[in-house]
């Protein structure tokens, strides 16, 4: 039986760079862009003599990258050895497989026979990332289609990924693939770990949605997925980021404070000879001190992402430049971080207050937000003519001011560090967007640079913003906030996409 698990992509709305250092927090929104991993046996039968074998087979297929790799997995050392490949390696998935299998050995100490049987049947792993993770601007332009979400929707699901040209170098180095910045590697690693841990019987993810609906606190299985995915992601990446991307891929939208990097030290310091089960034992027992609390946008607000068409930026080189600046100018950098942190907290407080106001006075809230959605922000105050509306408008304008402060400090940080955190072209786009009717705020997510920009819009104004972006040569993506983290799927997503396409044709 195939197991299909999925994990969402993310948008780091506040906390870029700061979230790398405890106790600074980041607000991360998970999205409807999901990465899928399908795990099934390679062989139906196990040959009787195979019990004596020291190896099993693993096949990894990424059709979007036209890659298929066959591996041998050593059943003793739990390490993968490629035997044939139609392209370069995938360190994220390779580490995900090795660590998930090692976790199965470490955790399932009683029922080793079932595990051995599953492994001897071989592992057939397929990975699929939603189109939203990748940039399709070039294809849309090449096909002569308008730069609209409808053109994006007309692409086949799980379309082929465009590789960036290799010649780009230096601090503006482009990533391997034309990505939109939604955290494809974190979502991919998490989906593979979740699917494998479920397939091998280490965790049971089938009641996740019910547990979440009932608000059950016990998320022990998710915690195992998190530790294994976070370890695999860091080791594959060769660096320890803040981990907000893996955390949101596992648990969904949240207010996040990073883990202390020491929790990963045994995985980082493990030599070639260290048994992987020992590494897994250590990381599972380590004191994971990250914090996450529930966060989602207030009602009637929509997260929009717009791709300005610059091919994305490489986060590690930007982080390196910021760290260099912190070392060279501790005083100025501390002050900028203090102000940024103030702006981040203020924005969060305003958004949380708006959520509470919506809860307490839903009708007044709905009516006022819909009215503001038709007006530019400078007209919102005049429109508030009763006390609840005055309270709401105060929070809306407070959120805008906080965003402007964040943007100002992010620009300053970029200038001081000599990197384009909010480059001029993005500033112009963000200013224009913040002046559009019904736009609460706009910013650059995460590390900034030339990745897609985000906006938060009120009521139905997202449609007008989408059109306005199209006339500014910005492609509004089909991404929306979706607070769900990891999930077990009933079907192969390719079958689902086909069914959805067929039923939408029938409905027309
Ligand atoms: N569908 C895929 N198949 C195989 N590898 C992928 C796929 N999607 C992404 N990757 C890997 O993930 C890398 C991008 O990860 P990352 O830097 O986290 O990007 P982002 O977070 O901005 O989406 C790619 O360079 C590629 O190595
Ligand atoms: C700088 C950071 O704080 C935020 C980077 O956020 P992005 O969303 O830009 O990340 P990528 O998906 O890797 O491009 C680094 C971190 O927190 O790890």
Ligand nearest to the CA of 19: 2
Whether the pLDDT of residue 165 is over 70: the answer is no
CA distances from 122 to 70, 116, 189, 331 (A): 11, 10, 19, 56
pLDDT band at 237 (very low <50, low <70, confident <90, very high): very high
Confidence of residue 466 (pLDDT cuts 50, 70, 90): very high
**Residue 437: closest CA among 377, 391, 357, 484:** 377
Ligand nearest to the CA of 319: 2
Q: Which residue's CA is minimally distant from atom 10 of ligand 2?
A: 446
Cα(315) to centroid(ligand 2), Å? 6
- Per the model's pLDDT, the better-predicted residue between 500 and 322 turns out to be 322
Q: What is the mean pLDDT of the chain?
A: 91
Query: Average pLDDT, stretch 289-318?
Result: 88
pLDDT of 398 higher than 50? yes
- Split at pLDDT 50, 70, 90, the class of 291 is very high
Q: Choose which residue among 12, 185, 242, 423 to substitute to test ligand 2 binding: the one with the highest number of ligand atoms within 8 A of its C-beta.
A: 12
Which residues does ligand 2 sit against, CB inside 6 Å? 12, 16-17, 19-20, 181, 183, 241-242, 244-245, 315, 319, 445-447
Any idea where the domains of the chain sit in the sequence?
5-135+179-295, 301-476
Closest residue CA from atom 17 of ligand 2: 242
Going by pLDDT thresholds of 50, 70 and 90, the confidence category of residue 283 is very high
Q: How confident is the model at residue 89 (pLDDT cuts 50, 70, 90)?
A: confident
Residues 377 and 143: their CA atoms lie apart, in Å, by 37
Q: For residue 458, what pLDDT band results from cuts at 50, 70 and 90?
A: very high
Residue-level pLDDT at 169: 46
Rounded distance from Cα 123 to ligand 2 centre (Å): 32
How close are the terminal C-alpha atoms of the chain, in Å?
A: 35
Does residue 183 carry a pLDDT above 50?
A: yes
Tens digit of pLDDT for each residue in 212-221?
545 554 589 9
Residue 128: strand, helix, or coil? strand
- Residue 229 above 90 pLDDT? yes
Is pLDDT at 484 greater than 90 in this prediction?
Answer: yes
Q: Whose CA is nearest to atom 1 of ligand 1?
A: 129
What pairing do the DSSP bridges indicate for beta strands 453-458 and 291-294?
unpaired
Q: Does residue 265 have a pLDDT over 80?
A: yes
38-85 pLDDT per residue, tens: 999 999 988 777 777 789 999 999 989 888 999 999 999 999 999 987
- Cβ neighbors of 383 (< 8 A, separation 6 or more) are 368, 371, 372, 375, 389, 393
Say whether pLDDT at 257 is over 80. Answer: yes
Q: Give the whole-number percent of the chain exceeding pLDDT 70.
A: 92
d(CA 77, CA 71): 14
Tell which wins on pLDDT, 492 or 248.
248
Residue 428 is encoded by which pair of tokens? 């112009």
Q: Which CATH number fits domain 5-135+179-295: 3.20.20.70, 3.40.50.300, 3.30.230.10, 3.40.309.10?
A: 3.30.230.10
Inter-residue contact 249 to 183 (CB < 8 Å):
yes
CATH of domain 301-476: 3.30.70.890
Ligand 2 centroid vs 243 CA: distance in angstroms? 9
Distance 75 CA to ligand 2 centre (A): 35
Backbone angles phi, psi at 439, to 5 degrees: -95, 125
pLDDT value, residue 507 = 33
Judge whether residue 335 has pLDDT over 50.
Answer: yes
- Strand-pairing partners, residue 28, are 12, 254
Triad 169, 171, 175: Cα angle to 5°: 60
Report which ligand 1 atom has the smallest distance to the Cα of 129: 1
State which ligand 1 atom lies nearest to the alpha carbon of 182.
23
Ligand 2 atom 6: residue of nearest CA: 446
Please determine whether the domains at 5-135+179-295 and 301-476 fall in the same fold group of CATH.
no
Lowest mean pLDDT among 161-170, 264-273, 417-426: 161-170
pLDDT per residue as tens digits for the range 121-156: 999 999 999 999 998 888 888 889 998 999 999 999
Cis, peptide link before residue 194, omega less than 30° from 0: no
The Cα–Cα gap between 95 and 189 comes to 8
What mean pLDDT do residues 252-261 have? 97
Residue 313 has pLDDT above 80, yes or no: no
The C-alpha atoms of residue 404 and residue 422 are separated, in whole angstroms, by 12
Identify the pLDDT of residue 138.
85
Can you tell me which atom of ligand 2 is nearest the CA of 10? 8
Tell how far the Cα of 25 is from the centroid of ligand 2, in angstroms.
Answer: 13
CB 61 within 8 A of CB 68: yes
CA of 129 to the centre of ligand 1 (A): 9
Q: What is the mean pLDDT of residues 475-483?
A: 96
Residue-level pLDDT at 176 = 66
Give the whole-angstrom CA distance, residue 230 versus residue 4: 20
Across 18-33, average pLDDT: 97
Going by DSSP bridges, is the β-strand pair 123-129/55-62 parallel, antiparallel, or unpaired? parallel
Ligand 1 is surrounded, with C-beta below 6 A, by: 62, 64-65, 90, 127, 129, 133, 175-177, 179, 181-186, 188
């Amino acid at each position: 039986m195939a197991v299909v698990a999925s994990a969402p992509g993310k948008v780091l709305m506040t906390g870029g760079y700061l979230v790398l250092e405890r106790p600074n927090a980041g607000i991360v929104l998970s999205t409807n862009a999901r990465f899928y991993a399908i795990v099934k046996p390679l062989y139906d039968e196990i040959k009787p003599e195979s019990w004596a074998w020291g190896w099993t087979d693993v096949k990894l297929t990424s059709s979007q990258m036209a890659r298929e790799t066959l591996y041998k997995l050593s059943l003793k050392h739990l390490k993968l050895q490629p035997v044939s490949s139609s392209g370069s390696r995938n360190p994220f998935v390779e580490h995900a497989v090795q660590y998930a299998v090692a976790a199965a050995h470490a955790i399932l100490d009683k029922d080793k026979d079932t595990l051995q049987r599953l492994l001897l049947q071989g592992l057939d792993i397929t990975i699929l990332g939603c189109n939203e993770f990748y940039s399709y601007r070039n294809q849309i332009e090449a096909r002569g289609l308008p730069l609209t979400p409808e053109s994006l929707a007309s692409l086949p699901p799980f379309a082929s990924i465009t590789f960036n040209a290799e010649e780009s170098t230096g601090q503006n180095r482009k990533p391997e693939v034309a990505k939109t910045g939604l955290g494809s590697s974190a979502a991919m690693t998490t989906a593979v770990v979740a699917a494998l841990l479920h397939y091998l019987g280490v965790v049971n993810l089938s009641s996740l949605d019910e547990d979440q609906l009932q608000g059950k606190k016990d998320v022990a299985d998710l915690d195992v997925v998190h530790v294994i995915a976070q370890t695999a992601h860091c080791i594959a990446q060769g660096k320890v980021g803040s981990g907000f991307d893996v955390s949101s891929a596992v648990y969904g939208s949240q207010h996040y404070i990073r883990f202390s990097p020491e929790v990963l030290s045994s995985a980082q310091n493990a030599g070639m000879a260290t048994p992987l089960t020992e590494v897994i034992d250590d990381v599972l027992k380590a004191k994971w001190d990250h914090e996450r609390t529930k966060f989602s946008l207030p009602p009637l607000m929509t997260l929009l992402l717009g791709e300005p068409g610059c091919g994305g930026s490489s986060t590690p080189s930007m982080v390196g430049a910021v760290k260099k600046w912190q070392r060279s100018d501790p005083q100025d950098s501390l002050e900028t971080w203090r102000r940024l942190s103030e702006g981040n907290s203020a924005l969060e407080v305003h958004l949380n207050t708006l959520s509470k106001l919506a809860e307490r006075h839903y009708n007044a809230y709905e009516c006022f937000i819909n009215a503001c959605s038709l007006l530019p922000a400078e007209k919102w105050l005049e429109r508030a003519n009763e006390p609840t509306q005055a309270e709401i408008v105060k929070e809306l304008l407070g959120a805008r001011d906080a965003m402007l402060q964040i943007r100002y400090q992010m620009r300053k940080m970029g200038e001081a560090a000599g990197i384009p955190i909010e480059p001029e072209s993005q500033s112009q786009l963000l200013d224009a967007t913040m002046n559009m009717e019904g736009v609460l705020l706009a910013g650059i997510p995460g590390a900034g640079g030339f990745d897609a920009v985000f906006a938060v819009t009120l009521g139905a104004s997202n449609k007008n913003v989408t059109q306005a972006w199209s006339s500014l040569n910005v492609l509004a993506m089909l991404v929306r906030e979706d607070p769900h983290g990891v999930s077990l799927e009933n079907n192969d997503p390719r079958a689902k996409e086909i069914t959805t396409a067929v039923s939408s044709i029938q409905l027309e």
